[in-house]
């Protein structure tokens, strides 16, 4: 409807040039003023909307940063828990096995490692304990053998010494 008024006013200004200023002031100027106000309002709405969008974007970025920080904290805690579990589950039994191996190397065969696993690590510890028992049994058998041989060798040596002493005329004390 405003465009129709502008169009008819333009026609009147052409047909009545003497009254063109009055027609312009009364008909076209108010429309242009209203149009200017409308443009200013639209620009203000655009700025407000842009400002709101920027604030929304800042909120979203802030939320993303917080979530990312929480994710990294949880990631670090999970990694720490994983390291602790691996240390407890894998390294502790290996350390016990290493210490027991050092004891075996020193000749102590009575040390047994507790088996707390039902996997390859548990199997390794069970095999080590079995080997350790067998080595202990062999060590005990060696000691008993040496004791018996030593005892059995002492008797003939004592007899030989006493016979040699008798032949040489010396008295040899029996040990």
65-84 pLDDT per residue, tens:
999 999 999 999 999 999 98
Mean pLDDT (the chain) is 84
CA–CA distance, 78 with 76 (Å, rounded to integer): 5
In the structure, what pLDDT confidence band is assigned to residue 13 with cuts at 50, 70 and 90? confident
CA–CA distance, 9 with 13 (Å, rounded to integer): 6
31-62 pLDDT per residue, tens:
888 888 888 888 888 888 888 888 888 899 99
> Does 167 or 105 have the greater pLDDT score?
105
Total-model pTM? 0.47
Answer yes or no: is pLDDT of 160 > 80: no
| Side-chain half-sphere CA neighbours of 159 within 13 A | 6
Answer yes or no: is pLDDT of 171 > 70: no
**Residue 164 CB: number of other CB atoms within 10 A?**
11
CA–CA distance, 25 with 28 (Å, rounded to integer): 6
Give first-to-last CA distance, the chain, whole Å: 143
User: What pLDDT sits at residue 175?
Assistant: 53
CA–CA distance, 134 with 49 (Å, rounded to integer): 85
């Amino acid at each position: 409807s405003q465009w129709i008024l502008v169009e008819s006013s333009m026609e009147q200004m052409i047909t009545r040039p003497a009254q063109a200023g009055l027609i312009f002031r009364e008909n076209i100027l108010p429309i242009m003023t209203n149009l200017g106000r409308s443009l200013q309002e639209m620009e203000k709405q655009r700025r407000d909307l842009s400002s709101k969008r920027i604030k929304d974007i800042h909120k979203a970025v802030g939320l993303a940063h917080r979530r990312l920080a929480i994710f990294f904290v949880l990631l670090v805690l999970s990694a720490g828990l994983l390291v602790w579990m691996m240390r407890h589950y894998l390294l502790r039994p290996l350390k016990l096995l290493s210490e027991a191996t050092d004891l075996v190397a020193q000749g102590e065969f009575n040390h047994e490692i507790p088996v707390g696993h039902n996997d390859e690590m548990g199997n390794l510890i069970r095999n080590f304990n079995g080997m350790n028992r067998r080595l202990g049994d062999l060590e005990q058998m060696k000691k008993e053998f040496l004791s018996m041989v030593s005892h059995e060798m002492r008797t003939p040596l004592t007899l030989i010494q006493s016979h040699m002493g008798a032949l040489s005329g010396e008295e040899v004390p029996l040990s």
